[in-house]
Structure 1
Amino acid sequence: MPLNLNAKWPVIAALLLASLGLTGCSELLFRQTCVGLTKDMRYCLAPLPHDFAPATDKPLTHPRIQPATESTTKPAIMASQQTDSNTGVSSPQSFSQKVSIKVGKESHELLTQLELEGERMTLVGLAPLGQALFTLVYDGNTLSSEQSVLLGDNFKAEYLMAMMQLIYWPEQSIRAHLEGGHLVTGLCDAAGDSLVNTSSCRQIYSQDTLNSKSALQSHVVQIRYQQNVGDALWQAHISLTMPQAKFELEIEPI
């Protein structure tokens, strides 16, 4: 059953923020792999793509919605031509990040290590001073969470894993695992065509919003990528916002 983000996410994020400086005994939990973004929209974790190619292609000049039947040979924010594969990533990859989370007026920081190997996706969270908070492991089928007992049962690890996939996974993979919503990609604004820096966006809209004739179409999720031309996506500064939940996530590569 999909979770209602508007009802659940503020509590989930608040628990995370309150627990960043805490350590204690850990417990192993198995999590659901589908998370609710709105009442009628959810995202289900996708298998690891075979590989992640550097995002060297010039981003689109105008936002667009890519139908499921559209050819994926056109350039996009990240290598959309990559498809899901049971073989997982072709070689081990590891990325260290500084993550800032803001919910309303509350904010905090943590360090994360994202590791991709074979069919396994591992996300480790540390407090700024290095205390272990959680280790999330997704093998393409199940999601397990080894976390401090002080985080409590209401800490929803699946949301963190889902956010990482929405940020980094190929577009066609996200579209295939997004239910009740549409992913739109392109430049965030006119300044995004700079030859020095690019500012590309992913925006997720609900079906009802896209069907509306109103000129004011509010996105459920917006992800902004700021990077130098030729840099891989993993080198980008990431800003993810969810206005309805008053939630902001900033990722800075280390």
Structure 2
Amino acid sequence: MPLNLNAKWPVIAALLLASLGLTGCSELLFRQTCVGLAKDMRYCLAPLPHDFAPPTDKPLTHPRIQPATESTTKPAIMASQQTDSNTGVSSPQSFSQKVSIKVGKESHELLTQLELEGERMTLVGLAPLGQALFTLVYDGNTLSSEQSVLLGDNFKAEYLMAMMQLIYWPEQSIRAHLEGGHLVTGLCDAAGDSLVNTSSCRQIYSQDTLISKSALQTHVVQIRYQQNVGDALWQAHISLTMPQAKFELEIEPI
């Protein structure tokens, strides 16, 4: 059942911001694998892709809604990723990031470590001083969370796991696991014409918004990538915004 964004998300985000400095005994919880993004829209965690796309040589020039048919037009998720057709990522991959979260006027920072191996996706959250906050493990079917008991049962760290996939997973994978919404990709603005940096975007709209002919079409989620030409998405500075929730997420590679 989709979560109600207006009722759930502000509480989730507030709990996250309020709890970043907490430490203590941990508990193991099993989490849902689908998260609500808006009314009648949700994203369900996808397995690790078996065929990550190669790096792009040029930025996107036109927004598109349908999946690309040529691999050269897909944004890169890894610069050089070896995969196995049966077991997902064949060699371990690890990425460290500094994450800034802002909800309304509240803001905080944490460190994350994202690890990919086989069909297993692990996301570890640390406070700025290094205290362990949570460890999320997704094996393609179930999502488990080991986290400080002080975070409470209402702490929904799985939203961060979902956001990581919306940011880094190939477009066709996101579309296959997005319910009640449409993913549109393209240049964010004129800055994307630069030969030095690209500014590409992923935007998620509700189905009702795309059907409407109104000029006031607003996205539910926007992800902006600032990166050098030819860089993989893991090397990009990421800005994710959810205007309805007054939520902003900034990711800087470490």
CA distance in 1, matches of 2:80, 2:93: 19
Q: Summarize deviations over 1:44-79 as a string: whole Å, max 9, x none.
A: 000001253453332221211116999996678889
TM-score norm. by structure 1 comes to 0.93
Measured after TM superposition, the shift of residue 5 of structure 1 is: 1.7
CA distance in 2, matches of 1:234, 1:251: 10
Cα distance change, pair 253–163 in 1 and its aligned pair in 2 (3 A): same
Unaligned 5+ segments in structure 2 are none
Contact 1:2 1:34 in 2 (8 A): yes
Residue-pair matches, total: 254
Contact 2:83 2:89 in 1 (8 A): no
Q: Summarize deviations over 1:15-59 as a string: whole Å, max 9, x none.
A: 111111110000000001011111111100000012534533322
CA distance in 1, matches of 2:93, 2:105: 35
Contact 2:54 2:78 in 1 (8 A): yes
Cα distance change, pair 23–210 in 1 and its aligned pair in 2 (3 A): same
Contact 1:77 1:185 in 2 (8 A): no
Measured after TM superposition, the shift of residue 89 of structure 1 is: 1.0
Farther off after superposition, 204-213 or 85-94: 85-94
CA distance in 2, matches of 1:160, 1:84: 26
SS in 2 for 1:65: coil
Unaligned 5+ segments in structure 1 are none
SS in 2 for 1:72: helix
CA distance in 2, matches of 1:180, 1:83: 30
Contact 1:112 1:124 in 2 (8 A): yes
Runs of 4+ in 1 over 6 A off after TM superposition: 68-84
CA RMSD of aligned residues (A): 2.6
Map of 1:159 onto structure 2: 159
Contact 1:79 1:170 in 2 (8 A): no
Q: Summarize deviations over 1:96-124 as a string: whole Å, max 9, x none.
A: 00000000000000000000000000000
Aligned-pair identity (%): 98
